[in-house]
Amino acid sequence: MVTVVFPAAGAGRRMKAGMNKVFLELAGKPILVHTLLQFSRSSLVDNFVVVVAAEEVSFISKLLRGIPGLKPLKVVAGGTERQYSIWNGLKAAPEEAEILLVHDAARPLVSLATIEGVIEGAREVGGAIAAVPEKNTIKVVGEDGLVRSTPPRNTLWEVQTPQGFRRDILLRANEQAEEDGFLGTDDSSLVERLGVPVKVVESDYRNIKVTTPEDLIIAEALLREDYGGFLGLAKAAAKKTAAHILRQ
């Protein structure tokens, strides 16, 4: 059995919408619903645990009951940090789930290939995470504002979710993190501390985390599948410009 835990208990502060950003509607549906429908398309996924703020549990349960086509799901209360929310969600996952995935509710554009690649990677290796090769040059900067070093870009990957693990590994990693008071910025960092290998599954650049207002513009366009259209238009315009220049 494969269970997916969706942390959705954040406040969405950087979005500045005055509400939890996962309820914002894009292309006619709340972001959270887009995300859950996408995972519902995979035959490798069995059920969900949706983690929301304690005061939102009853509202979300009702909202999701009205959406046809979702996998069976439980709604549970989260915590003050993403890691605590996920830990609550993991404790609510069915005991029969031998593979546990974690996916940010705020990433509605994940592809089916990425979801299934992470599940297969977790089965094979024990842990697998979605990621894309870094596009930018990244600097390590000291507190004095001076550059310390420039890690070679070809070694850098930008990590996304889903992140999937064998149940025993992920539960042990969370127990150990809790015992040590360790707070990581992703789930894999908790597992890495145990010395367990984690496989990187190449995802795509569409799988953005909707975080700041400008991400809404990008996500809306991508959800409407205008992307191919934009590329076609941009290419056609470039050809027209080139033809015009060559005629001069």
Residues 98 and 1: beta-carbon distance below 8 Å: yes
Q: How near is the Cβ of 158 to ligand CTP at its closest, in Å?
A: 14
Q: How near is the Cβ of 231 to ligand CTP at its closest, in Å?
A: 27
Which of ligand CTP, Mg ion, none does residue 42 bind to, with CB < 5 to 8 Å depending on kind?
A: none
Residues 237, 112: Cα–Cα separation, whole Å: 32
CA nearest neighbour of 203 among 113, 138, 128: 113
For residue 222, give the 3-state DSSP assignment.
helix
Cβ closest to ligand CTP, residue 23 vs residue 126:
23
Which of Mg ion, ligand CTP, none does residue 51 bind to, with CB < 5 to 8 Å depending on kind?
A: ligand CTP
Q: How near is the Cβ of 34 to ligand CTP at its closest, in Å?
A: 12
Cβ closest to ligand CTP, residue 10 vs residue 117:
10
φ/ψ of residue 76, rounded to 5: -130, 165
Cβ closest to Mg ion, residue 47 vs residue 85:
85
Cβ closest to ligand CTP, residue 107 vs residue 199:
107
Residues 127 and 199: beta-carbon distance below 8 Å: yes
Residues 191 and 158: beta-carbon distance below 8 Å: no
Cβ closest to ligand CTP, residue 9 vs residue 93:
9
Q: Which long-range contacts (CB under 8 A, 24 or more apart) does 56-63 make?
A: 56/9, 56/20, 60/8, 60/32, 63/30, 63/33
Which of Mg ion, ligand CTP, none does residue 8 bind to, with CB < 5 to 8 Å depending on kind?
A: ligand CTP
Q: How near is the Cβ of 81 to Mg ion at its closest, in Å?
A: 8
CA nearest neighbour of 87 among 122, 121, 49, 56: 49
Residues 39, 229: Cα–Cα separation, whole Å: 25
Cβ closest to ligand CTP, residue 126 vs residue 162:
162
CA nearest neighbour of 46 among 21, 23, 64, 71: 71
Q: How near is the Cβ of 137 to ligand CTP at its closest, in Å?
A: 24
The site for ligand CTP (CB under 6 A) is made up of: 7-14, 21-22, 51, 78-82, 85, 104-106, 209, 211
Residues 59 and 50: beta-carbon distance below 8 Å: no
Residues 7-66 that bind Mg ion (CB under 5 A): 10
Q: How near is the Cβ of 14 to ligand CTP at its closest, in Å?
A: 3
Residues that bind Mg ion (CB under 5 A): 10
